[in-house]
């Protein structure tokens, strides 16, 4: 029934494996996929995973650093698998306890783990036990619980008050039934017992009358109030809609037309903007090369460690041990000598505190809880060192998993990719999408400044045909950038050009034309600016998905602001879903990267970074830290995590 | 004489007095003194225990790191080097480390550490071990090298430009693995391609280091400015060798790692 069962160490060495009869495919592929997408992305909360037609269940043994994985066909619903894995794990541990307690990786290699016989016995037992449960026969009426209840107790009155029943009445009924059934005292006793349990639990008559009286009085007082507010909104509805009065209404079209002043300037695109030269803060050539990481006051410990010469590793462990040592002394004095296994109960209070801390730092609530569950799974059963407390172990594990989440899963080097595209004589296309007001156009301008600094030519495609002033905004940026990098420096060609077709047109069509134009004119990069849209707005999401599916950009960047809280999860999930649903290919283009904007407005509540990377699994490519052109950074995972874990 | 007598008497008297007063002092401050001695002893014991616990490995650099992308064959190479036998492997999620006895005349032994290649793990684990690395074996999958050349180069670049690694200048052995596959590229070709790629990366990663302080990553410039990058320009000793962890006969046969073993013997 099972396709395969594998036991391997966390270091990757397979100790023992079993392949079901008739299964030809190797299990390496599915298990690697499981490891990469679940365990390494800290999603080990639920322990099952599907890969093509296989369903995989796994269990981590943290004491001996083992992983147990079982795979079976998705269409089979095997109920015994969970318990089976637990049994196998316990059996394996007991049998090979001595070998597994040795230190070093050699223990996995030197010992032969002949587990086949035990495994087959266990499997047979599990299969037999699952079949042994005979189908439960239906109870007849007399055995059911319903016969024990009285009819009146099952009637639901208007107050929803079953307990209005007087205990006396019930017992009377029960007695009557008992007499009727002629089976004697036993059944009456049983019935009356049941009635008492169902009802008022031995209230006396007087108490019941008192309660009913109080209820009656309160109903008279409160019921009237409850009815009144429901009546009041009704009479307001039939009022008709009043006509809306606009401020600018009544003025002539001529007055409202401002295109005259614009038209003069748009004709010569090379016009130098006098404002830009007056800007004292932009330093040309300051953004060459790779982006700087986000500045954070890293703790002094880190600096010292970096500057020390050869004692880095030893010093680190010494410091850590000393800090934990004094806390650990008290922990040890609490009655535990020697190594101790971590259990769920031990970690529970610490994890709750950590979860609240993360939520206070603006991590989305469900992400924080999933993370804590995943960390608990990773630490369960682990043996703690002699001088460490539960709190310090959990904190360290949480810190490691946060850094792991923020590390990019693929290479993030835009400049290198642009060079590659240039060598293939096609433009590198980047699309920016996101909800309204997150900073797409501003960060697009910053990124084009960075690219120009590194010697590339940029075409900005104004595919935001909805928002008033979007095209003008991009034109202003283009003029400013060109004045900072005059065409003479770039061999006569302007560094930035704007491709726009006005307002009201189809965004996907404009994008396609822009890319064709860039290819003809040999531009290096095309930056496509789209309109902001809410994730619930289905027609707009369809339009965005169509733009991306038709034009297949090299990079789809989701722009999100760092201030967003739980909304981040909803936005990203719905954006990804829309992109997947409306693409016609098997492998839809999803969000490839995240731009985190307005990072200077949050102090150390940097949780949005975690939420976004966790949900998509994609790296944060750029971080926007202000409104000038040089306020563009790359993410420094360690700094963000230390800000997150800071008290 | 009387004075001398008196003088002598006084001396004797004062000595005795001194001794008595000393004894009295000890007896009166007995509690405090003894507590002080005990505390000092306890501190000494504590320090010894701490040092004993965490001074296990010596400070000297005596580790060899096996680095590389995912699926390049590091874990299998690890087992082959240690025991010579074949094991099935999966993606590693923690590092494997063990002592290795090298096959040279001195019979020296050092720690061989197999670092997981997965992107989210490798940075943290390399951080842990980079200071004690005497040599780095960079394992490259020769059969898919054309496709992964940029990822390989980026990893290699990030290691070589790390401050601590650049300072220690460990020996770099680039092991072109999976030579048993017919499509595998030769070591020479891989060397040329890596040199070209690293040349480009130098430009994109550190173009204007002089004008920017606090640059991303290491502020180390590989090779010589103005000239195309070559591995001979590095302060480290660099060697490119071919090997096959699987071996031509698959699971049963030996691996073709003689070159690698000879290399490691020179460390």
Contact B99 A419 (CB under 8 A): no
Residue B118: which CATH number? 3.40.50.300
**Structural tokens at position B51:** 């040092």
The answer to whether A358 touches A373, Cβ cutoff 8 Å, is: no
- Within 8 A of B163 by CB-CB distance, chain A residues are 306
Whether residues B249 and B145 fall in one domain = yes
- Within 8 A of B110 by CB-CB distance, chain A residues are none
Is residue A451 pLDDT above 70, yes or no?
Answer: yes
Is residue B121 pLDDT above 70, yes or no?
Answer: yes
Whether residues B50 and B129 fall in one domain = no
A421 in contact with chain B, both atoms CB, cutoff 8 A: no
Selected for mutation to probe chain A from B120, B128, B206 (highest A CB count within 10 Å) is B120
Query: Would you tell me which residues 327-386 of chain A have a C-beta closer than 8 angstroms to some C-beta of chain B?
Result: 386
- Within 8 A of B68 by CB-CB distance, chain A residues are none
Selected for mutation to probe chain B from A13, A51, A328 (highest B CB count within 10 Å) is A13
The structure tokens 């299990």 sit at A27
Report the alpha-carbon distance of residue B65 to residue B97 in Å, rounded: 9
The structure tokens 């290198």 sit at A416
Contact B83 A110 (CB under 8 A): yes
CB atoms within 10 A of CB A542: 13
How close does chain A come to B98, measured CA to CA in Å?
6
* DSSP code of residue A140: P
| pLDDT confidence band for A444 (50 / 70 / 90) | very high
A632 in contact with chain B, both atoms CB, cutoff 8 A: no
User: Does a structural domain hold residue B12?
Assistant: no
The answer to whether B159 touches B137, Cβ cutoff 8 Å, is: no
> If you measure CA to CA, which chain A residue comes closest to B152?
A411
- Within 8 A of A286 by CB-CB distance, chain B residues are 211-212
Is residue A116 pLDDT above 60, yes or no?
Answer: yes
Query: Would you tell me which residues 47-86 of chain A have a C-beta closer than 8 angstroms to some C-beta of chain B?
Result: 65, 67
B116, B167, B208: residue with CB nearest A285 = B208
- Within 8 A of B217 by CB-CB distance, chain A residues are 290
Report the alpha-carbon distance of residue A51 to residue A30 in Å, rounded: 6
Q: Which of A363-372, A472-481, A596-605, B83-92 has the lowest mean pLDDT?
A: B83-92
How close does chain B come to A384, measured CA to CA in Å?
14
- Within 8 A of A416 by CB-CB distance, chain B residues are 150, 154, 200-201, 204
- Within 8 A of B118 by CB-CB distance, chain A residues are 36, 40
B98, B200, B206: residue with CB nearest A105 = B98
User: Does a structural domain hold residue B108?
Assistant: yes
Q: Which of B135, B128, B145 is nearest to B63 (CA)?
A: B135
Is residue B127 pLDDT above 80, yes or no?
Answer: yes
Is residue A171 pLDDT above 50, yes or no?
Answer: no
**Structural tokens at position B82:** 């240690």
Is residue A548 pLDDT above 50, yes or no?
Answer: yes
The structure tokens 């069509």 sit at A509
Contact A40 B118 (CB under 8 A): yes
- Within 8 A of A32 by CB-CB distance, chain B residues are 90-91
* DSSP code of residue B213: S
B54, B88, B208: residue with CB nearest A14 = B88
How close does chain A come to B53, measured CA to CA in Å?
9
| pLDDT confidence band for B123 (50 / 70 / 90) | confident
State the pLDDT at residue B214. Answer: 35
> If you measure CA to CA, which chain B residue comes closest to A289?
B207
Is residue A309 pLDDT above 60, yes or no?
Answer: no
Q: What is the CATH number of domain A4-130?
A: 3.30.450.60
The answer to whether A334 touches A392, Cβ cutoff 8 Å, is: no
Whether residues B153 and B190 fall in one domain = yes
Q: Locate the domains of chain A by residue range.
A: 4-130, 414-636
Is residue A270 pLDDT above 50, yes or no?
Answer: no
How close does chain A come to B27, measured CA to CA in Å?
33
Q: Which of A160, A65, A150 is nearest to A104 (CA)?
A: A65
Domain spanning A414-636, CATH class: alpha beta
Whether residues B137 and B203 fall in one domain = yes
Residues B184-221: b if buried by 16+ CB within 10 A, e if exposed? bbebeebbebbbebbbbbbebbbbeeeebeebbebebe
How close does chain A come to B97, measured CA to CA in Å?
6
**Structural tokens at position A630:** 């040089």
Whether residues B36 and B158 fall in one domain = no
Q: Which of A326-335, A543-552, A582-591 has the lowest mean pLDDT?
A: A326-335
State the pLDDT at residue B76. Answer: 86
The predicted-structure confidence for A351-370, as pLDDT tens digits, reads as follows: 999 999 999 999 999 899 98
**Structural tokens at position B94:** 């923690």
Q: For A437-446, what is the mean pLDDT?
A: 92
Q: For A552-571, what is the mean pLDDT?
A: 90
State the pLDDT at residue A314. Answer: 41
Residue with the bigger pLDDT between A155 and A329: it is: A155
Selected for mutation to probe chain A from B60, B61, B96 (highest A CB count within 10 Å) is B96
The predicted-structure confidence for A502-523, as pLDDT tens digits, reads as follows: 888 899 999 999 999 999 998 9
User: Does a structural domain hold residue B3?
Assistant: no
Whether residues B70 and B47 fall in one domain = no
Selected for mutation to probe chain B from A289, A456, A640 (highest B CB count within 10 Å) is A289
User: Does a structural domain hold residue B222?
Assistant: yes
State the pLDDT at residue A229. Answer: 44
Whether residues B158 and B94 fall in one domain = yes
| pLDDT confidence band for A12 (50 / 70 / 90) | confident
A163 in contact with chain B, both atoms CB, cutoff 8 A: no
State the pLDDT at residue A72. Answer: 83
Range of the domain at B101: 63-211+218-266
In the three-class reduction of DSSP (H, G, I as helix; E, B as strand; rest coil), residue B256 is classed as strand
- Within 8 A of A408 by CB-CB distance, chain B residues are 119
Q: For B61-87, what is the mean pLDDT?
A: 83
User: How many beta-carbon contacts under 8 Å exist across A and B?
Assistant: 163
Q: Which of A293-307, A352-366, B79-93 has the lowest mean pLDDT?
A: A293-307
> If you measure CA to CA, which chain B residue comes closest to A416?
B204
Percentage of chain A exceeding pLDDT 70: 74
Q: For A487-491, what is the mean pLDDT?
A: 73
Is residue A322 pLDDT above 70, yes or no?
Answer: no
Whether residues B70 and B32 fall in one domain = no
User: Does a structural domain hold residue B5?
Assistant: no
A8 in contact with chain B, both atoms CB, cutoff 8 A: yes
How close does chain B come to A363, measured CA to CA in Å?
20
Selected for mutation to probe chain A from B42, B88, B161 (highest A CB count within 10 Å) is B88
**Structural tokens at position A33:** 């996929």
Report the alpha-carbon distance of residue B200 to residue A439 in Å, rounded: 32
> If you measure CA to CA, which chain B residue comes closest to A293?
B216
Q: Would residue A442 be called left, alpha or beta, if left means φ above 0 and alpha means ψ between -120 and 50 degrees?
A: alpha
The answer to whether A45 touches B111, Cβ cutoff 8 Å, is: no
Is residue A527 pLDDT above 80, yes or no?
Answer: yes
Q: For A576-595, what is the mean pLDDT?
A: 87
Query: Would you tell me which residues 193-252 of chain A have a C-beta closer than 8 angstroms to some C-beta of chain B?
Result: none
Q: For A272-301, what is the mean pLDDT?
A: 59
Whether residues B161 and B227 fall in one domain = yes
Whether residues B27 and B101 fall in one domain = no
Residues A594-627: b if buried by 16+ CB within 10 A, e if exposed? bbbbbbeebeebbbbbbbbbbbbbbbbbbbbbbe
Selected for mutation to probe chain A from B93, B95, B129, B196 (highest A CB count within 10 Å) is B93
C-alpha to C-alpha distances, A357 to A389, A402, A645, nearest whole angstrom: 19, 14, 8
Selected for mutation to probe chain A from B56, B63, B65, B90 (highest A CB count within 10 Å) is B90
The structure's pTM equals: 0.70
> If you measure CA to CA, which chain A residue comes closest to B127?
A313
> If you measure CA to CA, which chain B residue comes closest to A32?
B91
How close does chain A come to B89, measured CA to CA in Å?
5
Q: Which of A237-246, B2-11, B176-185 has the lowest mean pLDDT?
A: B2-11
State the pLDDT at residue B211. Answer: 29
**Structural tokens at position A381:** 């059963």
Quote the number of domains for chain B.
Answer: 2
How close does chain A come to B41, measured CA to CA in Å?
18
Report the alpha-carbon distance of residue B202 to residue B257 in Å, rounded: 32
- Mean pLDDT computed over every residue of chain A: 76
> If you measure CA to CA, which chain B residue comes closest to A634?
B216
Whether residues B43 and B167 fall in one domain = no
Whether residues B149 and B254 fall in one domain = yes
The predicted-structure confidence for A41-97, as pLDDT tens digits, reads as follows: 677 666 777 777 888 888 888 888 888 888 888 887 777 888 888 888 888 888 888
Is residue A481 pLDDT above 80, yes or no?
Answer: yes
Query: Would you tell me which residues 108-137 of chain A have a C-beta closer than 8 angstroms to some C-beta of chain B?
Result: 109-110
């Amino acid at each position: 029934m099972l396709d395969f069962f594998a036991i391997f160490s966390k270091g990757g060495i397979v100790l023992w494996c079993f392949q079901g009869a008739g299964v030809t495919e190797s299990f390496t592929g599915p298990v690697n996929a499981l490891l990469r997408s679940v365990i390494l992305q800290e999603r080990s909360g639920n322990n099952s995973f599907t890969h093509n037609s296989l369903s995989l269940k796994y269990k981590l043994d943290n004491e001996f650093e083992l992983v147990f994985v079982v795979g079976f066909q998705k269409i089979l619903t095997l109920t015994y698998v969970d318990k089976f894995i637990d049994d196998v794990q316990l059996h394996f541990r007991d049998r090979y306890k001595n070998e597994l307690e040795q230190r070093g990786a050699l223990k996995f290699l030197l010992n032969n783990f002949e587990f086949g016989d035990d495994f087959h016995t266990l499997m047979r037992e599990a299969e037999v036990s699952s079949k042994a449960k005979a189908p439960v026969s239906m109870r007849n009426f007399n055995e059911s619980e319903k016969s024990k209840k009285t009819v009146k107790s099952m009637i639901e009155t208007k107050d929803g008050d079953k307990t209005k029943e007087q205990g006396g009445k019930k017992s009377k009924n029960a007695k009557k039934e008992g007499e009727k059934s002629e089976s004697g005292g036993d059944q009456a006793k049983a019935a009356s017992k049941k009635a008492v349990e169902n009802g008022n639990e031995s209230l006396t008559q007087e108490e019941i009358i008192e309660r009913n009286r109080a209820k009656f009085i309160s109903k008279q007082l409160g019921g009237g109030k409850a009815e009144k507010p429901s009546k009041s909104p009704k009479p307001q509805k039939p009022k008709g809609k009043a006509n809306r009065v606009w401020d600018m209404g009544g003025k002539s079209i001529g007055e409202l037309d401002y295109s005259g002043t614009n038209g003069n300037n748009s004709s010569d695109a090379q016009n130098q903007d006098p404002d830009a030269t007056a800007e004292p803060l932009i330093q040309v050539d300051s953004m060459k090369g790779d982006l700087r990481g986000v500045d954070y006051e890293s703790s002094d410990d880190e600096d010292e460690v970096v500057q020390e010469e050869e004692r880095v590793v030893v010093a680190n462990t010494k410091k850590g041990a000393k800090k934990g040592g004094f806390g650990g002394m008290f922990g040890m004095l609490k009655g535990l000598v020697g190594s101790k296994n971590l259990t769920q109960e031990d970690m529970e209070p610490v994890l709750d505190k950590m979860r609240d801390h993360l939520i206070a730092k603006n991590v989305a609530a469900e992400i924080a809880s999933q993370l804590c569950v995943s960390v608990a799974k990773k630490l369960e059963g682990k043996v703690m060192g002699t001088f460490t407390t539960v709190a310090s172990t959990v904190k360290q594990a949480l810190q490691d998993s946060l850094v792991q989440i923020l590390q990019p899963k693929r290479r993030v080097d835009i400049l290198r990719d642009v060079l590659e595209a240039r060598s293939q004589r096609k433009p590198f296309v980047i699309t920016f999408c996101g909800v309204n007001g997150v900073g797409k156009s501003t960060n697009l301008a910053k990124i084009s400044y960075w690219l120009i600094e590194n010697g590339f030519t940029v075409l900005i495609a104004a595919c935001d045909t909805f928002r008033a002033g979007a095209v003008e905004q991009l034109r202003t940026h283009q003029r400013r950038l060109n004045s900072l990098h005059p065409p003479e420096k770039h061999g006569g060609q302007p560094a930035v050009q704007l491709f726009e077709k006005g307002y009201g047109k189809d965004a996907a069509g404009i994008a396609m034309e822009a890319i064709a134009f860039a290819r003809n004119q040999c531009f290096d990069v095309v930056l496509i600016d789209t309109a902001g849209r809410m994730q619930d707005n289905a027609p707009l999401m369809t339009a965005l998905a169509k733009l991306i599916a038709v034009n297949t950009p090299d990079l789809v960047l989701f722009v999100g602001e760092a201030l967003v809280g739980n909304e981040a999860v909803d936005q990203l999930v719905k954006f990804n879903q829309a992109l997947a649903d409306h693409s016609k290919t098997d492998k839809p283009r999803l969000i490839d990267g995240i731009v985190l904007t307005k990072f200077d407005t949050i102090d150390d509540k940097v949780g949005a970074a975690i939420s976004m990377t966790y949900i998509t699994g994609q790296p944060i490519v750029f971080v926007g830290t202000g409104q000038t052109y040089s306020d563009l950074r790359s993410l420094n995972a360690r700094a963000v995590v230390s800000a997150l874990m800071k008290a | 004489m009387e004075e001398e007598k008196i003088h002598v008497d006084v001396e004797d008297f004062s000595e005795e007095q001194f001794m008595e007063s000393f004894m009295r002092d000890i007896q009166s401050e007995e509690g405090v003194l003894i507590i002080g001695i005990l505390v000092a002893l306890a501190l000494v014991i504590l320090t010894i225990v701490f040092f004993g616990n965490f001074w296990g490995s010596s400070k000297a650099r005596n580790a060899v790191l096996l680095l590389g992308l995912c699926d390049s064959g590091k874990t299998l190479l690890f087992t082959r080097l240690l025991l010579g036998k074949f094991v099935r492997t999966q993606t590693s999620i923690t590092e494997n480390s063990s002592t290795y006895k090298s096959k040279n005349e001195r019979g020296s032994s050092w720690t061989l550490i197999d670092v997981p290649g997965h992107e989210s793990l490798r940075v943290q684990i390399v951080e842990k071990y980079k200071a004690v690395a005497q040599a780095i074996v960079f394992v490259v999958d020769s059969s898919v090298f054309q496709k992964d050349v940029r990822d390989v180069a980026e990893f290699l670049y990030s290691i070589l430009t790390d401050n601590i690694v650049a300072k220690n200048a460990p020996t770099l052995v680039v092991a072109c693995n999976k030579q048993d596959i017919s499509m595998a590229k030769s070591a020479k070709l891989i060397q040329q391609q890596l040199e070209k790629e690293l040349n480009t990366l130098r430009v994109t990663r550190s173009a204007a280091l002089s004008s920017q302080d606090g640059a991303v990553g290491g502020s180390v410039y590989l090779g010589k400015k103005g000239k195309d990058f070559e591995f001979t320009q590095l302060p480290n000793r660099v060697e490119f060798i071919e090997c096959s962890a699987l071996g031509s006969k698959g699971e049963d046969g030996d691996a073709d790692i003689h070159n690698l073993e000879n290399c490691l013997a020179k460390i």
